[in-house]
Amino acid sequence: MVDAEADSVGHQTGEGESNIPETNTFLSTEASTICDKAVADYRQGTLSKVAALIKIQNAIAGNAGDGDTSAVVKALGSYLAILDNFDHFRNAALGRPVEGDDGPGSEDGGQHRGGGDDGDSLDSSSSSGSYQPTTRKRARSVEEDGDDEHQSGRRRINTGAFPWVIEEDVMPAQLSTELRQTLSILENFSRDIKVSKSSLLNSARCPQFPDSEWTNMLSGRVIDFDHVLSGVYSAAPDEHRREQLGSIEVVVGNSTPVRVVKTHSHWVIAYEQYVEATLYVFPHRRNELLIYGKFIRQLFTSFPPELHGRVIQFDKAVRLRVAQRRDLLLSDHIQFTDLNLLWLQNAGGVVAGVDDRSRHTGGTSTGGGGKQGRRDACRRWNDGRCPNSVSDCKYAHICSKCRNTGHVSKDCGSNSARK
């Protein structure tokens, strides 16, 4: 565990692996756990650097036997390198000098050093070594003064001080190559969405796709298949546009789609358009989209047509989750188990407040004291061979001639039926 973490930090700083002391594998599980906890406590600011080193040294020395001095030195050096590299990332993110900064709890209390004009400092507690950033004042350069004037006096934001940026620098998320590529492309688009979209729409091979959905794709948001399907069959241009009124963005036009994805064929048409547009912007996602498309088609095949609405809602929920996160692929099926239970395995089959049976038979679902919607008479029940109960059958168990209950069509008009 020590080797892996030290090696990871060494790569993050751009240093070679030779700069991180190698450790022997003589540490016991208990000693390694104590050392790792000391490092974690120091990173969280609940333990000073000196106290962390003492804990680590005691754990390593207590684990070593006689004559293991070199192993102790190597192990202690590795943990010290981890703490020093954490100081490097934290100080760089906060805009503080890196050289000579031993972090909170060091001999000078972690105060600012280097003789610069930043005026940055950290308040340190002598007892616990915890720290809190103080108000930071630093001399503004000529370039920053010009930027401030251009931005009507607004102060520039220090993105390196964001907690999630610091956490990513210290402990990078374990993402696949495809996710890293997607993040890099989206970050580049986010610098200027309008310029990115203008370049895209004026490219020679740009595929047909709704204007509003191009914006969603470049922004990393979910794509609305209803608008995609409407764009395929529409004879009018996309009137959905955005207008900027000062700092307020106003959406102009009708956002209601002309057509809605309700069937398997509708979904296939919209998905094919989606894949073509996505691969034009993110060409590295081909394998992910092929796997996901095959997965959803298998679901359509597994469910009867009257339940295809569940599959469509499941697809919407999956694509929404992936769009709202940056650590998932559409092909990560195991991450959507809860959505599978909610939309596919739910026995109620409720989709957007409408029951599957009533949606496909022209009726409405019951509930809340409402009236039962009109349904067609069950032919098999009238023939005396329907295996379903009244509640389970999607057709009404009524006479197909007079639509009354209590008798079948062959008995309609008889004396018993009249009674």
Q: pLDDT for 187-198, tens place per residue?
A: 999 999 999 999
Average of pLDDT values for 208-237?
Answer: 90
- Helix and strand numbers (H, E) in the chain are 17, 6
Structural domain of residue 119, as residue ranges?
1-172
Give a yes or no: residue 116 inside a domain: yes
pLDDT of residue 237: 63
pLDDT of residue 418: 46
Say whether both 168 and 179 belong to one domain: no
Say whether both 84 and 185 belong to one domain: no
pLDDT of residue 197: 96
Confidence of residue 338 (pLDDT cuts 50, 70, 90): very high
Contacts of 32 (CB under 8 A, 6+ apart): 1, 2
pLDDT of residue 245: 61
Tokens describing residue 90: 């934290």
Q: What is the mean pLDDT of the chain?
A: 75
Q: Are 149 and 159 in contact (CB under 8 A)?
A: no
Query: Tokens 């038979």 identify what position?
Result: 361
Position 107 pLDDT exceeds 60:
no
Give a yes or no: residue 364 inside a domain: no
Give a yes or no: residue 366 inside a domain: no
Quick check: pTM over 0.85?
A: no
How far apart are the C-alpha atoms of 316 and 310, rounded to whole Å? Answer: 10
pLDDT of residue 60: 81
Position 285 pLDDT exceeds 90:
yes
pLDDT of residue 152: 52
How far apart are the C-alpha atoms of 212 and 255, rounded to whole Å? Answer: 9
pLDDT of residue 311: 95
Query: Tokens 């010290």 identify what position?
Result: 80
Give a yes or no: residue 356 inside a domain: no
Give a yes or no: residue 354 inside a domain: no
Give a yes or no: residue 105 inside a domain: yes
More confident residue, 131 or 95: 95
3-state secondary structure of 329: coil
H-state helical runs in 94-156: 142-150
More confident residue, 90 or 336: 336
> What letter would DSSP give residue 348?
T
Say whether both 144 and 204 belong to one domain: no
pLDDT of residue 288: 97
Confidence of residue 68 (pLDDT cuts 50, 70, 90): low
pLDDT of residue 184: 95
Position 367 pLDDT exceeds 60:
no
Say whether both 246 and 149 belong to one domain: no
Say whether both 258 and 248 belong to one domain: yes
CA-closest candidate to residue 266, choices 208, 331, 316, 214: 316
How far apart are the C-alpha atoms of 362 and 252, rounded to whole Å? Answer: 34
pLDDT of residue 43: 83
pLDDT of residue 402: 86
Give a yes or no: residue 394 inside a domain: yes
Of the residues 111, 139, 172, which one is the last residue of a structural domain?
172
Say whether both 65 and 203 belong to one domain: no
Give the residues across from 251 on adjacent strands: 242
Confidence of residue 349 (pLDDT cuts 50, 70, 90): very low
How far apart are the C-alpha atoms of 157 and 169, rounded to whole Å? Answer: 18
pLDDT of residue 94: 64
pLDDT of residue 21: 40
- For the chain, how many structural domains are there in total? 3
More confident residue, 247 or 215: 215
Confidence of residue 41 (pLDDT cuts 50, 70, 90): confident
Say whether both 57 and 144 belong to one domain: yes
Position 114 pLDDT exceeds 50:
no
Position 105 pLDDT exceeds 60:
no
